[in-house]
Structure 1
Amino acid sequence: MAGGFEHWEAYLYDPSMAAAVIFIVLYGGATALHTYHLFQTKTWFFIPMVLGGYFEFIGYIGRAISASQTPDWTLGPYILQSVLLLVAPALFAASIYMYLGRVIILVRGEKFSIIRVGWMTKIFVAGDVLSFLMQASGAGILVTDSQEMGENIIVGGLFVQIVFFGFFVMCSFVFQRRISNNPTALGMARTTPWMKHLWALYGSSILILIRSIFRVVEYLQGWDGYLLRNETFIYVFDAVLMWLVLVTFVVVHPSEVNCLLGRGRVMTTKGGLSISEVAV
């Protein structure tokens, strides 16, 4: 891509304005709900998730601008959508990693965890930060300097994300099996709604894993690969999946866990109205 941007082709297709606008609305709505819940419930560890939602929202604004410029694309909107849509899931992951530790503490299941809860968040978030930095720097290099080098760094960052997410899912599964095989601990755990939160973690993690694998294949195929030549794939295997992650945590909001730990408030519904209840 380096040199001669006057003849540069940003996309190998004509970006869809309709698709971009649909996801601007979808991400705007989901992110607005998360922002409201964040401040109402004081679930501060979900700040990265909310920021990721804004990254997605702004990224699709970039795609909409690109669609309006077809075929005379400019670099700014392309960089905006390329970088923000690429790194947003890493922000989702940061909140998800912190979420598991709180679920484990909620049921007093620290002894059933493969990794000490105190270290768990540090290890996974450190891996997530590394993945985020690699993808962001790779995207910057990809669109401004060396295409091959940028793609290699991005793929490396995505592999880091996949490895850490795979290990994270394994840790979650082992914890669930261990506590389920311990009658005393399971009896205590049944008094709290921990399983629905664990299923929300499983579901969101699988969605991000699928998306990351798609992105790896996309970059390994190269600039003229089949996936990059067909816009449908980025919406099916990225836009939809990441929006479902946000929706999952609107339906199963982590404020319930935070509230039971005495760290914030939980959103409940009475008479059709959403209210906040202060943790006792």
Structure 2
Amino acid sequence: MSGSHGPPPNRPPTALYGYIPTRGIAVLFLLLFIFSTGLHVGQAIKYRTHWLLYTAVLCGALEILGWAARLWSSYSPLAGIPFQIQITATIIAPTPLLAASFVIFGEIIKMLGPCYSRISAKWYTIIFSTCDVLALVIQGAGGGIAATAHELQGANKGGNIMLVGIVFQLIVILTYAGLAVEFLWRYQEQRPTSRAINGNAERGEMTHNVKQMLCGLAFSFIVFFIRSIYRMVELSDGWSGRIIRTQVYFNVLDGAMIVLAIYTINLFHPGRLAISATTKTEKDAKYMPGSGSSSETNLRMDYINV
């Protein structure tokens, strides 16, 4: 970000954003996030996937806060507090939802066969969730500095820190995608990794439910990637750049992308899909004595209770 970029000290009515947030758009996104978040709370309780309360639900709560602040700004475009809230809330909100994707794919690895993964399912979740938290901290710190800065230098510093967090998160997303593609290729070709030679090389079934979850994760990856690219270009362009001061870019490439991502988890909910698969297996077991080992049952229940 160049030194000439940043919010000017004497701001005209639209200088905080470069525009006045459209009230109807803010209401629309606010309602969309409220509905999805409420649905996630109900699904987490129903399917006992309580970890989604501090991933998907946290994302929704932060987006609600951010879009409520933008609605506030539509009434008071010169108010600094709502502007500061939306900067920080919308920049960090998607990070917990991304962590949910890491957890879900870690469980898919357990179901299909850890022997095909470059790293264990446990460490897959630990490593990527830790990186996600680190990205969250960096973006949150940068957003806080930028939002509360009273001088050009402070705003630029905060923006640069946010940019570092976004770039780091983008690297994490691409690494995650690369390992996921390798895992699925090894599974399809039945090529366990070298570390599985002396270990367990069991191969799970690619059920219809698992395919649905994989499709949901793939779509989520695409929208997260689009959103990260947008944010990276936006912050690189500077506080006075055309991108950050054009409302439609933010609405479509940030707000809409996260709406698609959070509703994807609602639709392809891991608890609902796993329970459906387990129910079918249990019904089949009644007519097939001896089918399904205790380890297989434990694996399915581990997934439900993550």
TM-score, normalising length: structure 1: 0.87
2:292 counterpart residue number: none
Which AA in structure 2 matches 1:238?
Answer: D
Give the SS at the match of 1:159.
helix
CA distance in structure 2 between the aligned counterparts of 1:99 and 1:203, rounded to whole angstroms: 14
| Aligned positions of 1:159-198 closer than 5 A | 159-182=167-190, 188-191=204-207, 193-198=209-214
Distance change >3 Å, CA 89–CA 79, structure 1 → 2: same
Aligned pairs (5 A) from 1:9-88: 9-47=15-53, 48-70=55-77, 73-88=78-93
For residue 13 of structure 1, give the secondary structure of its aligned residue in structure 2. Answer: coil
Is the 2:116–2:191 Cα contact (8 Å) retained in structure 1?
Answer: no
Letter matched to residue 56 of structure 2 = M
- State the distance in 1 between where 2:125 and 2:41 align: 23
Number of positions where the alignment pairs a residue of Structure 1 with one of Structure 2:
263
Determine which of 116, 123, 131 is the counterpart of 2:135.
Answer: 131
> How far, CA to CA, are the matches of 2:20 and 2:11 in structure 1?
18
Structure 1 runs of 4+ aligned residues shifted over 6 Å read 5-8, 183-187
- Amino acid in the other structure paired with 1:10: L
Coordinate RMSD, CA, aligned: 2.4
Bigger fraction of residues in strand: 1
Contact 1:35–1:50 under 8 Å retained in 2: yes
1:241 aligns with 2:257: yes
Deviations 1:41-91 (A, max 9, x none): 111222211110111112100000001113xx2121111111111101111
Are the equivalent residues in 2 in contact too, given 1:49–1:92 (CA < 8 A)?
Answer: yes
2: CA distance, partners of 1:191 / 1:27: 31
Query: Aligned residue for 1:100?
Result: 105
Alignment of 1:249-264 (within 5 A): 249-256=265-272, 259=275, 260=278, 261-263=300-302
Change in 2 beyond 3 A, CA 1:134/1:188: closer
Structure 1 pair 6–222 and aligned structure 2 pair: CA distance change class (3 A): closer
1:208 lines up with 2:224 in the alignment = yes
Q: State the Cα distance separating 1:166 from its structure 2 match.
A: 0.4
Give the residue type in structure 1 aligned to 2:143. Answer: A
> Does residue 110 of the first structure (1) align with residue 110 of the second (2)?
no
Letter in 1 for 2:124: M
Q: CA deviation at 1:188?
A: 4.1
